[in-house]
Amino acid sequence: MDSQALTWSHVAISLIAIASGFGVVYGLFHSSRMPRTTQMFLVTTFLTSLTGFIFFRRDQLLPSHITGVIALIVLVPTCFALYMRKLAGAWRRIYVIGAVISLYLNVFVLVVQLFLKVPALHALAPNAPANPEPPFKIVQGVVLVLFIAAGYFAVKRFRPDGVVQLAPART
């Protein structure tokens, strides 16, 4: 496979992860587990990081590598909470926060790539992300605030049926 085909494969996987991730967050707002969409999101998010490491090897550590490592680290407790702990007790919150952070990291990278590849955005911030100008910082700041708000509301609203809610310990 040539490098352009690898790049397009990575981009397609990433976009599927983002689209399915928005579906998962929508489900969280409505206390819906959305198992197929969730599985697609988690798998494609994992594959996004994996293909980033495999397809785009570099001799030095780049911010994209750090983001990929963080994404993989976040996926571990997220998947554990969902599949092993079945969202019981505090694991519901861990899952929700992990899912939202995973989607945020995908969108964060998408914004970086848009500023690098889309001429109109690149013209607004030609040195981003290495030396980010205000337009880049503003967009990333707005994205971060929206995801913090989404995470907050998702934690508050996600109460799927059949999940064991552990009572707080009495003192």
N-to-C CA span, the chain: 62
Using an 8 Å Cβ cutoff, are 115 and 129 in contact? yes
Predicted pLDDT of residue 108: 97
Q: What is the mean pLDDT of the chain?
A: 93
Q: pLDDT by residue (tens digit) across 7-37?
A: 999 999 999 999 999 999 999 999 999 999 9
Cα(59)–Cα(149) distance, integer angstroms? 37
Mean pLDDT within 96-117 = 97
Split at pLDDT 50, 70, 90, the class of 41 is very high
Q: pLDDT by residue (tens digit) across 128-164?
A: 999 999 999 999 999 999 999 999 999 999 998 766 5
> In sequence order, which ranges of 56-133 are alpha helices (DSSP H)?
63-79, 90-117, 119-124
Predicted pLDDT of residue 61: 83
In this prediction the pTM is 0.92
Predicted pLDDT of residue 164: 57
Provide CB contacts within 8 A for 76, sequence distance 6+.
none
At 81, phi and psi to the nearest 5? Answer: -60, -40
Q: pLDDT by residue (tens digit) across 55-88?
A: 887 888 888 889 999 999 999 999 999 999 999 9
Helix (H) or strand (E) holding 23: helix 3-29
Residue % of the chain over a pLDDT of 70: 94
Q: For residue 166, what is the DSSP state?
A: P
